[in-house]
Structure 1
């Protein structure tokens, strides 16, 4: 038996399109997708339609959930929020641990979220580049093992996409992954 582990970075985020968003944002380190990011998420969903993905895991940040939700709608699947796929909690980027919406609020906004799922891996602010790679590598290995032989999708961030890929295929991911 074999398994395919799909790994996707979230679509384009609003603060990359409009840097001033950060100045007035309620949760400055948890931006939503931009308008073109919503289109990108829909395009990814269409690309994955017909693939035999059985489980979708997403970082608990808004932009990854929005990306995963677009895919979940097309594939008719739930979304498991996995903290191990979180953004790199880099103190050079974030002056404090990022505030996110509560799981209960997210479930109301995104009904495909599975509230019964318990995240397997924790993330702790602050973390180094090495730590985020270790965390996301461990997460990918854990989920791929636990849900084998089912094909799975991991929706994450640049650093956690790279770490997840490295956790599954080793250092070749450093040159082969465009995250």
Structure 2
């Protein structure tokens, strides 16, 4: 959190990055679904891994604040994305020509902490996941230990109590999903008011967050797109008071296309 101080208060800003995962296998190679044991949980393709790592590089070079914590959806495409971003953010003397975590030799494990958060999951209904692809019993199972093992040793914070203790219920409503994402962002921000957070999630999470705080109609969220939010934190005599979130345009429109409510036509800003 960036801050400045005087004799009575410590006024600063808390920053939240809401990021979509990278390029998913089933959208690039639809035939993958024919033999997949978990067709509802596609991994990233190689281009997705590269895009995720390069997004981490851009975050590292462009934002003016450190990332303290990363929260990630348990879907494999999000965990792989977060793993690449974390490698880029925490690499020691990062080589600008590096293209993936495989090119990173040394990691500073003190840079940030990582946690799996069920509340960042995909919208769990037939609008987002086709019924023929979804698990027949409506239960989305994950081996959390295996997912945590994808991050550098010592980076996973196992003392964190997740906001959502289990997966959202199958066939949740769009409105319910919207409330889930918006409520989760605020809950996590309030839980760590002195830390800047990166939330790696799905397109709907980025769309909902950006559209709500920007007051626009989002019609496309590209792979690895980021919504950047900021709110002021006032600290006085041991307590903290938070302001409202606002979208920061420097990074907040990265890969997000939307109809502006104040102008005619379409506003489109691409980060890469």
Return the TM-score normalized by structure 1. Answer: 0.87
After TM superposition, the structure 1 = structure 2 runs for residues 1-179 of structure 1, keeping only pairs within 5 Å, are 1-49=12-60, 51=63, 52-76=66-90, 77-92=112-127, 93-95=129-131, 96=135, 97=138, 99-111=140-152, 112-121=155-164, 123-166=168-211, 169=213, 171-172=215-216, 174=218, 177-178=256-257
Cα pair 2:121 2:202 within 8 Å, conserved: yes
Q: 1:136 to 1:173 in 2, by over 3 A?
A: farther
Residue 163 (structure 1) shift: 2.4
Deviation of 1:78 after TM superposition, in Å, equals: 2.8
Q: Return structure 1 stretches of 4+ with deviation > 6 angstroms.
A: none
How many Å separate the matches in 2 of 1:10 and 1:136?
15
| Largest Rg, 1 or 2 | 2
Alpha-carbon distance in structure 1 between the residues aligned to 2:211 and 2:177: 11
Mapped partners of 1:87, 1:35: distance in 2 = 21
**Counterparts of 2:83 and 2:149, CA distance in 1:** 13
State the 1:166 CA deviation.
4.8
- Whether contact under 8 Å (2:74, 2:116) holds in the other structure is yes
Does the 8 A contact of 1:8 with 1:154 survive in 2? yes
Instruction: Report the alpha carbon displacement of residue 109 of structure 1 after superposing the two structures with TM.
Output: 3.4
CA distance in 2, matches of 1:137, 1:89: 16
Counterpart-to-counterpart distance in 2, 1:14 and 1:178: 23
Count of aligned residue pairs for this structure pair:
178
Match of 2:233 in 1: none
Q: Distance in 2 between matches of 1:110 and 1:100?
A: 20
Q: Distance in 1 between the 2:149 and 2:17 partners?
A: 26
| C-alpha RMSD of the superposition | 2.3
SS in 2 for 1:43: helix
- 1:62-119: CA deviation from partner (whole Å, max 9, x where unpaired): 0111111111122233321111111010124243336343111212333443333232
Structure 1, unmatched stretches of 5+, are: none
Decide which structure has greater helix share.
1
* SS of aligned partner of 2:115: strand
